[in-house]
Structure 1
Amino acid sequence: MTSTRPETGFPPDPTIDLQGSPNLIGPRLPIPHLGITPDAKRPAWFIGGVFLAQFGLFVALLGPATVSIALKAQTLASSPAEQAAITALALSPGAIAAVIFNALGGRISDRTTSRFGRRRPWIIGGIVAMSLALLLIATATGPLTMGIGWFLAQACANMAFAAFLASVSDQLPSEQYGKTSGIIGIAQNVGIMVATWLAAFLESNMLLLFMVPAVLGAVLMAVYALMLPEPVLKENRHPFNLRELISTFWTNPIRFPDFGLAWWGRFLIILASYLFVVFRVQYMTDHLGLPTAEATKAVATGVTIYTIVSMFASFFAGWLSDRIGKRKVIVAGAILVFGIGTYMLLHADTVTAFYLCEAVMGLAYGAYVAVDLALVLDVLPDRENAGKDLGVFNMANALPQSLAGGLGGFLLARIGGGTDFTALLVAALVSAVIGAVITMLIRGVK
């Protein structure tokens, strides 16, 4: 890599500013050449910034998705069925935002000509706008306003996340994919844990419940954005017409079958996870019979167990993947074990049994996230437009998070009467089993 000219063997490109946009935090780092996999490792402090950015985003965004919106729904309705319906109504519009703005955010950041780089403006702008949308949810007086706020929050967060994940692809050599993937997975789970504990302590104050995580996320994402040494485009290389706009939301799975299979594997495990996660608080109150205050604290303890186990699993799985040079077997096995963990929840009748299920799911998900991102980076169709392809892949991460609210709400409210979780958790198991089978069909990665 170099900060002043392309690497030896690459002719000068008039569309690229050779000076680039240097990082503003930390020792000066070399700027990667556009579209070329870097050949030098990033230092540990930069990888720490990746951790902080992922942690901050997930504290801010997944707190509402996993706990806060369900708690907000409890302030608007008294019956379990009404609360499930309000949660589903509030979360469902986010699915549309996830589909549109994850891929669109990646494509736009690929082509941004700002003197501050391609990714940095969208990371900072997206996370600040997401915080304002969460403020709208916190002050909402009905499910419609909550739904609008969640749509906007998902739109802005996905713009930021698409640019963030593309920046990871821009900055790292392939030999850092596995370990960094594991670190990102740990940050995700730690973020959910911290968001859950914040919800347990702030559940009586809706404004603080939403805004404390939002401000924390905005600060940490901005810090990472200022750590980026960015290549700068002076002009777009490709026209942005209707055909290009439509292609933003599509990577041909026939032409790139491994990428398509990895997409569906991610979609199905996230769907399996969030079919339970969105209704975790209600599971504790209606399946285990805990009061709301005790339920939120038990959920926080369960998530802590999940996170600690997943951290060890992530470290080990990431190391093992790099050591043996295999990814898909670990990913598929982890998805299958996760599905079994969700099914075990049906037979949990004590808080201790719930904690055991959380440990099994944490073990599986920690191993999964440690290796899956590395697998995806290995099968990217086009490195120069990594933002676009990763944006499409991010749809498999964000879309089921929002769809789970509507699907889970239907299964719980319509089939389970608001209190029977059988249909919900069986659906999660089936989703995970299919995801494991699909992942094993990938051919380009061992």
Structure 2
Amino acid sequence: MVVSDPAAGATLPSPVVPVPKEKAKARVIATMVAARLGIMLALSTPALAGMTLKVQTLVAPGDVAVTLGSVISMGAFAALFFDPVFGRLSDRTVGRFGRRRPWLVFGSLGLMASLVVIALAPNVMVLGLGWFFAQALGNAAVAAHTASLADQIPQWQRGKVSGMIGIAQQAAGLGAAYSASFLGQNMLLLFLVPGVVGLLLVVVFAFVLPDQPMSRRPASEGGFRTVLKTFWVNPAKHPDFAFAWISRFLVVLAMFMFVTFRLLYLQQDLQLEKAEAASVMATGVLIYTIALMVAGQLAGWLSDRLGRRKVFIWASAIIFGIGTWMLSQAGSASGFYWAELVIGVGFGIYVAVDLALVIDVLPSPDDAAKDLGVFNIAMAGPQTIAPAISAALLGLGGGGYDVLLTVAAIIALLGALAILPVKKIR
């Protein structure tokens, strides 16, 4: 892998990256979707349940929630910082292996190694460091993968492919839930198996991906200005991108205010034992995933046919907010299942259309990975602050989840309102 030397290309204009026009090949789409499933399976297994189970082996029961929130926040901060950094490096990588392929493989290898560290961690400090590096290196693969969608998929096909990727990403949560259910008694297998599966699927995609090398090193503005621009897209020049960013930030914040504590919610609010809670969670995530797959496929197809994105984002956030509120009213496993069904429909519509909308409003194809990395701050940022906000709201609610879930529902609705000012996309 060779990363561009800023000085070498300083006097040349940046090479123009062609916008894809022809229909993407089926094998590229299939392996692209499978690779996203693999990456997110490796990242979701710890985030959804693995870290909760691991923390419970290291600290006293009364310290689990605080410790879990702190560790998850460390990893989210790494994702917040390193996604745009690796996106920038990916955009500026030259060599015979292309721009995206090296970072896909490097990131997946690093993620798997970090998961082994987490599984064997003897204390909370090592656990936190392992999760920090897992998120940092995993996001090298995530940034390159997301940019490959912009590189390879024409605009008129993006809604469908974005929907498939969104479904795969959420299906990874289902795999994570069942991994916790079946492998939760063996920490090494719980973290290692998803990591190996993710690595294999990414390697297959890297082999199939028609990742053409750039002809020369891109130009650079050099110095500290380039570093700052890694984390910045001017909202005054690109307001559509800014409003899309705000919308995702709010919707993802609403989601992670609950997801981080989903297993604890079942144990504490519904008074379920650890094994029963894991089983109920797996069933709930199964219902959620089926609803998400059906709604996502339909929404992605319909969005492409109608040439519309915003109305789907708006509807999805409303449905998601309703489902989150339903969780506050659930007093049993069946109530939890109904809420998961509604949330699945809402978020399925959202993930099917949101990524396509964002790629449609990207400022420049030359910096696709960097700009998508900036956009993914709206995914990682909420994960950083959600545990602290949730902990504070749990305190206000006296340990109950009603206040937390009601606030999350309101935030999701605000996320829907934020997408309305986008002008470039209907």
TM-score normalized with structure 2 length: 0.94
Could you say what secondary structure the match of 1:84 adopts? helix
Structure 1 position 127 matched with structure 2 position 108: yes
After superposition, give the CA deviation of every residue in 1:235-272 in whole Å (9 maximum; x if it has no partner).
32222421111100000111100001111111111111
| Farther off after superposition, 374-383 or 236-245 | 236-245
Structure 2 residue ranges without an equivalent (≥5): 1-11
Could you say what secondary structure the match of 1:384 adopts? helix
Deviation at 1:416, TM superposition (A): 4.2
Residue in structure 2 matched with residue 341 of structure 1 by the alignment: 323
Deviation at 1:356, TM superposition (A): 0.2
Deviation at 1:128, TM superposition (A): 0.7
Deviation at 1:134, TM superposition (A): 1.4
2:97 and 2:391 mapped to 1: Cα distance?
Answer: 43
Tell me if structure 1 keeps the 8 A contact 2:263–2:281.
Answer: yes
Residue in structure 2 matched with residue 443 of structure 1 by the alignment: 423
Could you say what secondary structure the match of 1:151 adopts? helix
Match of 1:146 among 115, 124, 127: 127
After superposition, give the CA deviation of every residue in 1:360-399 in whole Å (9 maximum; x if it has no partner).
0000000111111111111010011111111111111222
Residue in structure 1 matched with residue 52 of structure 2 by the alignment: 70
2:406 and 2:125 mapped to 1: Cα distance?
Answer: 30
Structure 1 position 118 matched with structure 2 position 99: yes
- Match for 1:445: what amino acid? I
Deviation at 1:218, TM superposition (A): 1.1
Residue in structure 2 matched with residue 373 of structure 1 by the alignment: 355
- Match for 1:388: what amino acid? K
Superposition RMSD in Å: 1.6
- Match for 2:424: what amino acid? G
Match of 1:428 among 377, 384, 408: 408
Could you say what secondary structure the match of 1:233 adopts? coil
1:320 and 1:173 mapped to 2: Cα distance?
Answer: 17
After superposition, give the CA deviation of every residue in 1:41-100 in whole Å (9 maximum; x if it has no partner).
112222111110110011100111111111112212343x41101101111112321221
Residue in structure 2 matched with residue 353 of structure 1 by the alignment: 335
User: Following TM superposition, where does structure 1 have runs of at least 4 consecutive aligned residues deviating by more than 6 angstroms?
Assistant: 13-16
1:61 and 1:231 mapped to 2: Cα distance?
Answer: 28
Deviation at 1:150, TM superposition (A): 1.2
Residue in structure 2 matched with residue 31 of structure 1 by the alignment: none
Tell me if structure 2 keeps the 8 A contact 1:163–1:387.
Answer: yes
1:178 and 1:256 mapped to 2: Cα distance?
Answer: 21
Residue in structure 2 matched with residue 21 of structure 1 by the alignment: none
Residue in structure 2 matched with residue 23 of structure 1 by the alignment: none
Match of 1:280 among 214, 239, 262: 262
Tell me if structure 2 keeps the 8 A contact 1:15–1:234.
Answer: no
Tell me if structure 1 keeps the 8 A contact 2:13–2:219.
Answer: no
Deviation at 1:233, TM superposition (A): 2.5
1:314 and 1:62 mapped to 2: Cα distance?
Answer: 19
2:203 and 2:356 mapped to 1: Cα distance?
Answer: 24
Structure 1 position 195 matched with structure 2 position 176: yes
TM-score normalized with structure 1 length: 0.90
Structure 1 residues 14 and 367 mapped into 2: Cα distance closer, same or farther (>3 Å)?
Answer: closer
| Farther off after superposition, 155-164 or 399-408 | 399-408
- Match for 1:247: what amino acid? K
Deviation at 1:125, TM superposition (A): 0.2
2:129 and 2:320 mapped to 1: Cα distance?
Answer: 32
Structure 1 position 160 matched with structure 2 position 141: yes
1:409 and 1:86 mapped to 2: Cα distance?
Answer: 11
- Match for 2:188: what amino acid? L
Structure 1 position 268 matched with structure 2 position 268: no
Q: Identity of paired residues, percent?
A: 44
- Match for 1:91: what amino acid? I
